[in-house]
Structure 1
Amino acid sequence: MDFTFSEDQLLFQESVRDFLVNEVTPEKIRESWESETGRSPELWAQLAELGLTGITVPEALGGLGMSALDFVLLAQECGYVALPEPLVHTALVAVPLLTDIGGELAAQWLPKIASGEARVVVGLSQNLLVEDAHTADLILLQQGDDIHALTPGQFNLRHNESVDPSRKLYAVEATASNIVCSDVAVITACLNRGALGNAAQALGLAQRMVDLAVQYTSERNQFGKPIGSFQAVKHHMANVAVQLEYAKAPVHRAAYAVANDLNSASENVSHAKVVACEAANLAAKNCIQVHGAMGYTWEVDLHIFMKKAWALANSWGDAGFHKNRINDFILRADTPLGAGNTFLN
């Protein structure tokens, strides 16, 4: 059985990586921190032109009609550059939720998302703060077991600071009622996709932090040789590399489960979120350590990726939430455990 990604998927990943690395530099991210919205309409237009804002929008509504499995590699690349724009949120959360809701709401908003004309964000009870609510043309907000569709003028916002300057977080207070969905299963699927997006980005963030640390330790000399040649430094990087490699399969498995609506999707996503964020947190810890005193300065680019990793680890369900879901799954009487059940749905 072949579990590898297709050649087309890998080529798409490579082309998106090349674009993002060239366009989303640490210098541009720092510049965005000083702007009024923290977002770039020009970059968003470029992402739309490449078809990325509509990648999961059905073809009949102007998109590419692709799945979470097709997008997961691209989400990793978004993490690798610490993309401030809400592309992962759009493709994995907002668009699928609108598709699940369907009807006139989906027909109205999905073509606009695909063309880059509209930004739609989702706020669930699991996340007390909604990212990018200040630029949203539509907010899909959970209240109890209901999802409300709110446009500007139907909600109030209160800004909250984040450890990651690129994240623009807001408490949203609805001033109108417009229930468009009351299906708990749809809300659970939405939460899973948000957690999957964070897990995939965590993989990219961890890899970027390792790359930055390797570059720094190959250039920084001590006792007449690069510090990267010292065994203790090598061990720090090797520990991250091993944990990162072992986190990839659960994330890709979770993407498959979400894309194919498997019964195990919640458990698969929680597993992926835990291991990917643990790998990113270890990368942050070890990479800042090998940077030494330089690692604690604001000017070092490592901060950009480290702080985003910390922020993503605690959104769309923190470690405690996802470990509890895994625990509940393992301890169920009917859970099929053991090597012979590894590839069961």
Structure 2
Amino acid sequence: MHFAFTEDQAAITEAAREMLLETCTPSDLRKLLESGNPRDAGRWSTICEMGLPGIMAPESAGGLELGLTDLVGIAEAAGYVGLPEPLIELAGVTIPLLASLADDHGWLERAASGDFVAIGHPTNSFVGDADQASALLLGHGEEIHLVPAEAVSLVRQDSFDSFRRLFTVEWTPSSATLVGRDWALAAERGALLAAAQMIGLGQRCIDMSVSYAKDRTQFGKPIGSYQAVKHLVASAQVAIEFARPVVHAAAAELPLAIAASRARVAHAKIAAGEAADLAARTAVQVHGAMGITHEADVHFFLKRAFGLKSAWGTVAEHTRTVIERVTTARTGPDATFAAELSSPDPQ
């Protein structure tokens, strides 16, 4: 399989990345945090004007009808800037799920244009950004219910990351809200896109560490000239570089919905989570005592990385998925994650 992105995919990612870098700086994050608002209206308007929420929506619903591989680079860019707005889950999890329903009650087209629909998948304990939603996709056992925002009651839950707005939802399932019984690939998409964001978060922590190590002097020299600091940052960068292609490969193979592709997603989530965790902790260590203060920008990215590491499945849950794959089918360098050797049937 050829893992290089096409010119069109690279162009879309770069355009989104440039916009996010310009509109979502640490200074912007601080202003948003101080205001208490859940999102920046101007930034969300720009995101919608670029058509990013509908990147995976069908053209008939006003979307671009692109795939997960087209979104994964944008998810990485969103992680790199610590984007507070729920673009990635809306574009990559909610909209594909709405598109799979026999009757989306008109919400697919609305979501593709930026009208937020929150998703309460059984994998997660809480519903993210439910207070910003016009409607919610909620689970009742294996059932999928599409519920208007006015029909639910929300209870805010504490989060380590102030920008991850988490809620428990009180609601009553009914035949009128029932829209499906198959969550399909929603959990895998969520895990994969969380992994992509963690790659971006980890890379941002490393870049911040490098920049600080160049400027901060100790004993008359930049601290980045000392071997101990170099090795810390280099080890974190190696972890990111090894995890990134796993995430890209998982994005390409996820639609296969077979044992190998599920294990690939699980591997990507584990690898990206560990790499982002190492990069965040390294950034704090390189920054020294100020690295654990609110005044340093590191905390924005560290908190998001720690939060996403346990979202859409814990490390233990994803490890079980990988173990199931390696204990039920042939393994080895040519087979463990080789989708072309796996049949469509569960192995």
Name 2:201's counterpart in structure 1. Answer: 205
- Deviation at 1:336? 2.8
Task: Describe the superposition over 1:5-62 as per-residue Cα deviations: whole angstroms up to 9, x where unpaired.
Answer: 1112112211111110000011111222233442122221110100101111101110
Gaps of 5+ in 1: none
**1:308 to 1:27, Cα distance in 2 relative to 1, 3 A:** same
User: How do residues 39-54 of structure 1 correspond to structure 2 at under 5 angstroms?
Assistant: 39-54=39-54
Name 1:241's counterpart in structure 2. Answer: 237
2:285 corresponds to 1:286: no
2:178 corresponds to 1:179: yes
Secondary structure of 2:52's counterpart equals coil
Name 1:130's counterpart in structure 2. Answer: 127
Name 1:70's counterpart in structure 2. Answer: 70
- Deviation at 1:2? 2.8
**1:37 to 1:265, Cα distance in 2 relative to 1, 3 A:** farther
Query: Of 209, 213, 217, which aligns to 2:213?
Result: 217
Aligned-residue Cα RMSD (Å) equals 1.4
* Aligned amino acid, residue 135 of structure 2: L
TM-score of the aligned structures, taking structure 2 as reference length: 0.94
Name 1:148's counterpart in structure 2. Answer: 145
Counterparts of 2:230 and 2:126, CA distance in 1: 39
Secondary structure of 1:153's counterpart equals helix
Gaps of 5+ in 2: 341-347
Name 2:263's counterpart in structure 1. Answer: 267
Name 1:338's counterpart in structure 2. Answer: 332
- Deviation at 1:296? 1.3
- Contact persistence 1:79–1:201 (CA under 8 A): yes
- Deviation at 1:161? 1.4
- Contact persistence 2:209–2:283 (CA under 8 A): yes
- Greater displacement, 231-240 / 259-268: 259-268
Number of equivalenced pairs: 337
Name 2:344's counterpart in structure 1. Answer: none
Counterparts of 1:340 and 1:104, CA distance in 2: 42
Task: Describe the superposition over 1:100-150 as per-residue Cα deviations: whole angstroms up to 9, x where unpaired.
Answer: 113343xx112212222x111111122111110001011001121111111
* Aligned amino acid, residue 270 of structure 2: V
- Contact persistence 1:154–1:176 (CA under 8 A): no
- Contact persistence 2:161–2:307 (CA under 8 A): yes
Query: Of 129, 139, 145, which aligns to 2:136?
Result: 139
- Greater displacement, 292-301 / 37-46: 37-46
2:314 corresponds to 1:315: no
Counterparts of 2:160 and 2:152, CA distance in 1: 25
- Contact persistence 1:192–1:265 (CA under 8 A): no
- Deviation at 1:163? 0.5
Name 2:21's counterpart in structure 1. Answer: 21
* Aligned amino acid, residue 262 of structure 2: S
- Contact persistence 2:253–2:339 (CA under 8 A): no
Name 1:80's counterpart in structure 2. Answer: 80
Counterparts of 1:154 and 1:3, CA distance in 2: 45
Counterparts of 1:102 and 1:225, CA distance in 2: 65
Name 1:101's counterpart in structure 2. Answer: 101
Secondary structure of 1:273's counterpart equals helix
Name 1:229's counterpart in structure 2. Answer: 225
**1:234 to 1:33, Cα distance in 2 relative to 1, 3 A:** same
